[in-house]
C-alpha cells in the first residue's frame, strides 16, 4: 500500500444513534485509520418539537441523555481501534449545527449515513444528507 | 499507517471535463491508491439538446469527441500514478447512466464534484450530485 497526501485530515461524523450513523462511523474509522485523520463526533439535539406529547424541558432532557449515550458508545467504538475522537453535543438545527462545526473546526470531510439524522428536519425539509449535499462547506461522504 | 478492510474496492468517477470533476478525480486517485481500489472513469453524452443551435448529429459528435478527450486525459493522469482505470463512454441521461454503471459494475463508491456534470440536467432537475445524494445505489463522495 502506498501513502499519499490527502485532504482528509479532519473528519466530522454527525450521529443520531441510528444504524445508518453506525455505518457512517464504521466507514469514518476506516478512513480515519488509513489517512491518520482527526475525528469529531457530533450529536445535535433538535430544538424543534415534533409533537406536543411531552413537556419541552423533559423532551430536551431525554434527547440530551440519548445524545450523551450515543456519543459515549461511538467514542468507545473508536477507542477500541485506538482512535481518540473529540466529542461535541449541540442544541439547534441539525444541518446548521453540522455546517457551523465543520467550518469552526476546519473539517475537510463530513461522513453521514444516507438516512436517519433528524426525523423532524427530514419530514419538513428533506433529509439532512440531501441538504448537506447542497450546502456542506466541505466534502461530503454519504454512506450507504 | 495501519491497513484496514474497507468497502472502497471499486470506485466510479463520472467526468465532465470541468475543474470540479478534475478535483473528484484527484481525490479518487488518492483513495484508489490508499485502498487499492479499481477505478472506472465514465463520460456520459447527454442525449437531450440544450438549445437548437446545432444539428443533433453534429452536436452528439462534438460531445463524443469531447468525452473521448476527457477520458483520455483522466486515464493518463491516473497512469502516471500507476493506476490502470477502466474507461466507459455512454449516451443517455447522466444520473441514470451513472446509477446503471454503478449497479452493473458493482461499485461501492461514486466520487463526484459538487458542481459541473450536466448543465441541462442541473437546470431542469437540480444538480447531478444532489440527485445522486438521493438515489445513488452505493456510497457517494461529493468533493468540494
Q: 3.40.710.10, 3.40.50.300, 3.40.50.620, 3.40.30.10: which CATH number matches B10-143?
A: 3.40.50.620
Query: Can you give the pLDDT at residue A3?
Result: 45
Give me the percent of chain B exceeding a pLDDT of 90. Answer: 61
Element of type H or E holding A143: strand A139-143
Residue of A nearest to B33 (CA): A2
Query: Can you give the pLDDT at residue A52?
Result: 62
| B37-B40-B44 Cα angle (round to 5) | 155
| A136-A142-A144 Cα angle (round to 5) | 165
A34 contact B CB<8A? yes
Instruction: Report in angstroms the alpha-carbon separations of A84 from A41, A79, A106, B27.
Output: 10, 6, 18, 25
Query: Can you give the pLDDT at residue A57?
Result: 81
- B-chain residues near A139 (CB < 8 A): 27, 141-144
What residues contact residue A119 under an 8 Å CB cut-off, 6+ apart? Answer: A50
A1 CB burial (10 A radius; 0-12, 13-18, 19+):
exposed
pLDDT at position B2 over 50: no
Q: Tell me if B144 and A130 make a contact (CB, 8 A cut-off).
A: no
Query: Can you give the pLDDT at residue B57?
Result: 81
| CB B115 within 8 Å of CB A121 | no
- A-chain residues near B33 (CB < 8 A): 2, 4
pLDDT per residue over B17-41, tens digit each? 888 899 999 999 999 998 999 999 9
Global ipTM: 0.85
Q: Which three cell numbers stand for residue B52?
A: 437548437
Rounded average pLDDT over A80-92 = 96
Q: Tell me if B141 and A136 make a contact (CB, 8 A cut-off).
A: no
Element of type H or E holding B61: helix B56-79
Q: Which of A87, A94, A124, A100 is nearest to A112 (CA)?
A: A94
Shortest Cα–Cα distance, B134 to chain A (Å)? 7
Rounded average pLDDT over B108-130 = 72
| CB A91 within 8 Å of CB A44 | yes
Q: Which three cell numbers stand for residue B133?
A: 445524494
pLDDT at position A1 over 50: no
Q: Which of A7, A33, A10, A19 is nearest to A114 (CA)?
A: A19
Query: Can you give the pLDDT at residue B130?
Result: 87
Element of type H or E holding B74: helix B56-79
Rounded average pLDDT over A24-43 = 95
More confident residue, B72 or B144: B72
Q: Which three cell numbers stand for residue B44?
A: 456520459
Q: Which of B100, B88, B90 is nearest to B132 (CA)?
A: B100
pLDDT at position A128 over 60: yes
Q: Which of A135, A94, A116 is nearest to B126 (CA)?
A: A135
- A-chain residues near B130 (CB < 8 A): 130, 133-134
| pTM of the full structure | 0.88
Q: Tell me if B142 and A140 make a contact (CB, 8 A cut-off).
A: yes
User: Cα(A4)–Cα(B70) distance, rounded to whole angstroms?
Assistant: 24
Go through B74-94 and write b for each residue having 16 or more CB atoms within 10 A of its CB, e for each that does not: bbebbeeeebebebbbbeebb
Amino acid at each position: 500500500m502506498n501513502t499519499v497526501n490527502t485532504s482528509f485530515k479532519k473528519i466530522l461524523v454527525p450521529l443520531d444513534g441510528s444504524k445508518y450513523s453506525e455505518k457512517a462511523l464504521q466507514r469514518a474509522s476506516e478512513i480515519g485509520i488509513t489517512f491518520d485523520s482527526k475525528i469529531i463526533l457530533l450529536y445535535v439535539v433538535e430544538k424543534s418539537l415534533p409533537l406536543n406529547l411531552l413537556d419541552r424541558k423533559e423532551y430536551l432532557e431525554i434527547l440530551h441523555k440519548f445524545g450523551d449515550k450515543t456519543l459515549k458508545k461511538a467514542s468507545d467504538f473508536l477507542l477500541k481501534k485506538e482512535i481518540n475522537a473529540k466529542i461535541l453535543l449541540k442544541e439547534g438545527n441539525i444541518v446548521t449545527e453540522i455546517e457551523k462545526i465543520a467550518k469552526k473546526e476546519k473539517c475537510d470531510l463530513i461522513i453521514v449515513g444516507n438516512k436517519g439524522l433528524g426525523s423532524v428536519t427530514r419530514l419538513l425539509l428533506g433529509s439532512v444528507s440531501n441538504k448537506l449535499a447542497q450546502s456542506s462547506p466541505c466534502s461530503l461522504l454519504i454512506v450507504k
